[in-house]
Copies of this chain bind each other. A is one copy, B any other.
Amino acid sequence: MQEQMIHSLKEVREKQPLVHNITNDVVTNTTANALLAIGASPIMAHAIEEVADMVSITSSLVINTGTLTGSSLQSMLLATETALQLEKPWILDPVGVGATPFRLTGNKQLLANKPSVVRGNASEIKALFTGANEGKGVDSSTSSESTLEFIQEKAREHHLIIAVTGATDYVTDGYDVYKINNGHPMMARVTGTGCTATAIIGAFLAVCDTPLIAAVSGLTCLGIAGELASMDCPGPGSLQLRILDELYLLDRATIEKFEKVSNMRRSCH
């Protein structure tokens, strides 16, 4: 997997893929900057009048429900239907899906358009796939470990990749389970770190052979960048910008030195 990640990063920088984002109001700037820092070319566009056209000229699509509205949901549904028809890879970040019935219903509709990858924290992944409204906020109330059997089952059932992030990240296609031990606790004090992870996976989706490699590569790259950025870091304000610097500086050497990814044996079935 390490060589595949290094190769994927090189591909992102050489091809500078157009990555279309319909994301939340909080992270539009941060995720556009993260995509530019790692070498991709972001486009943020949510108007119902143009999202289908935009999907047709871009390489991958990132959907994030962090500040979902009735009107943005319509744009997201049209964009993801178009992506499905055109066989373009797309990733769903069901931010706060367990918080309100509106978010749950909207995310289930989006899920029906077959994302290549779903990334969320443990609470979000559980809420999305069980349909249980927890009435919780956007931060997780459970650990990523607790979802291991669940995500394998759901990944197989829905034929997609599930990435559950937290202190440790896990990525599965329902069979392999990659455990990623990169990252730093202070990252949870920067808004939209999870959204940035999703956007970067979106960039890798545009160049990788499989969405599994894309998800593992994206989370590992952000995790390493976050780890390096956290060294001697006074607080989350500095961390936010240093992560962008480190994404920009990421290369073969840093990946070889810091990558902590392992493929776990299937833990169920």
Q: Give residues in A with beta carbon < 8 Å to B.
A: 16, 18, 24-30, 32-33, 36-37, 41-50, 53-54, 56-58, 66-70, 96, 99-103, 135-139, 188-192, 234-238, 240-249
Are B244 and A236 in touch, CB under 8 angstroms? yes
- A193 to B: closest C-beta gap in Å: 10
Min CB distance, A97 to chain B, in Å? 11
Checking B49, B96, B249 against A102 with a beta-carbon cut-off of 8 angstroms, the contacting residue is B49
Q: Which residues of B contact A136 (CB under 8 A)?
A: 57
Q: In the assembly, how many copies of this chain are there?
A: 3
**Which of B54, B68, B237 is the one whose CB lies under 8 Å from A241?**
B237
Give which listed residue, B25, B30, B191, contacts A36 with CB less than 8 A: B191
| Complex partner residue of A45 from B27, B67, B135, B243, CB under 8 angstroms | B67
List the B residue with the shortest CB-CB distance to A16. B139
Contact B53 A100 (CB under 8 A): yes
CB <8 Å contact, B18 and A137: yes
Instruction: Please pick, from B28, B69, B96, B242, the residue contacting A25 in the complex, using a CB distance under 8 A.
Output: B28
Contacts A29-B29, A32-B192, A57-B99 aside, 20 further interface pairs with beta carbons under 8 A come to A26-B28, A26-B44, A32-B191, A33-B236, A33-B237, A37-B235, A43-B96, A43-B137, A43-B138, A47-B67, A49-B69, A49-B70, A50-B99, A53-B135, A54-B99, A54-B100, A57-B137, A234-B245, A235-B247, A237-B244
